[in-house]
Amino acid sequence: MFDLNRESELKKDGPLAMRMRPRNLEEFFGQQHIVAEGRLLARMIKADRLSSMIFFGPPGSGKTTLAKIIANTTKAYFDQINAVTSGVADIRRVVEEAKDRLGMTGDKTVLFIDEIHRFNKLQQDALLPHVEDGTLILIGATTENPYYEVNSALVSRSTVFKLESLTNEDIRGIIRSCLSDREKGLGAYGARITEEALEHLVNISDGDARTALNALELAVLTTEKNEDGSLLVDLKIAEDCIQKRAVNYDKVGENHYDTISAFIKSMRGSDADAALHYLAKMLYGGEKPDFIARRIVICAAGCGDGGSGRTASCGICRPCRRDDRYAGGTDHSGGGSGLRGHGPEEQFRIYGDQYGHGGRGEPADGTGASVAPECGIQGSERVGLWRWL
């Protein structure tokens, strides 16, 4: 009784992102490569012929939503747990209930595990025999690469669906749908949004529907109505509600390796501004400067004619790595071009990039123009990368 009352209250007063969750594939935005008519997942859901699967993708791309759509359409019993708060005891309870259900009524059990990568090896192993014999149909959701973070035996018994960040058009559609939906969304407020504000929410949310909806809800609920009773969300209000783009970066996951790889390739290609972009992303995401410094020294030493490297470049990069440990980044812009005005980290990155392996020797402008939008740095703050690293 209490659970039903709680669910009823959450449907009315829960977060907008949860209330706006689609109930079927017709309401679902994005991921057309797996849910479009005739695609595998769409066929599985329509025919209610489910097998174990893992949804892998960035936050706010629709992993949990797809699991909920399956829950709304399948005739099988749907259960769910979160790997953050559950353990082996919860798995055993679900398995026993699934066995009883299969024996008494013949109903299959679909188990949805959110954040499945948070389960350790022992907990994942506890699922394996029951997925193997069909007692459970497993649906896992993860932001981490399942081929690294999930038991290989579980992965081999599941279909992995990779979800992409939502497109700008998808986010626009979700926002407009929310503003017009009087049942689940914000339609009852009669709110309107300017094109500039809409584009700001779309840009800063960076393909994350949850981020966009949270910002929109905050904007509508905190804005006073005009004298005529209308409610308008303009650019200033939108900027107050979502100021910085969240950088999708972690120090141990797939993003870590993708970013450092792109950083090294940018240096090898003598693209100073691109390398500064990835350098900023790593530092902003909390990467240790010494890890980055080692990669720069290795890159400087390993490039050049015949793989021998440039002696002068290595001679500059190694002391700069040492200086960065003691001095860190600078707090002033310094002016000028080339290496002046950058901290040791940026200086020896640019030097190693331009002169360490046949680079063009063209100085980077240091404005961080390509980096700033990634982290929500706006307008006058783009005076120098060193100001916010």
Contact, 384 vs 347, CB < 8 A?
no
Q: Which residues of the chain have pLDDT under 70?
A: 1-13, 245-248, 251-253, 302-389
User: What's the pLDDT at 291?
Assistant: 84
User: What's the pLDDT at 328?
Assistant: 53
Supply the pTM of this predicted model. Answer: 0.70
User: What's the pLDDT at 333?
Assistant: 39
Task: Enumerate domains of the chain plus CATH numbers.
Answer: 31-162 (3.40.50.300), 168-241 (1.10.8.60), 254-387 (1.20.272.10)
User: What's the pLDDT at 10?
Assistant: 56
63-78 per-position pLDDT tens digit:
999 999 999 999 999 9
User: What's the pLDDT at 154?
Assistant: 93
3-state SS string over the chain?
CHHHHHHHHHHHHCCHHHHCCCCCHHHCCCCHHHHCCCCHHHHHHHHCCCCCEEEECCCCCCHHHHHHHHHHHCCCEEEEEECCCCCHHHHHHHHHHHHHHHHHCCCCEEEEEECHHHCCHHHHHHHHHHHHCCCEEEEEEECCCHHHHCCHHHHHCCEEEECCCCCHHHHHHHHHHHHHCCCCCCHHHCEEECHHHHHHHHHHHCCCHHHHHHHHHHHHHHCCCCCCCCEEECHHHHHHHCCCCCCCCCCCCHHHHHHHHHHHHHHHCCCHHHHHHHHHHHHHCCCCHHHHHHHHHHHHHHCCHHHCCCHHHHHHHHHHHHHHHHHCCCCCCCCCCCCCCCCHHHHHHHHHHHHCCCCCCCCCCCCCCCCHHHHCCCHHHHHCHHHCC
Report CA 165 to chain centroid distance, whole Å.
Answer: 7
Handedness of CA 121, 71, 181, 43 (dihedral sign): positive
User: What's the pLDDT at 148?
Assistant: 87
User: What's the pLDDT at 292?
Assistant: 84
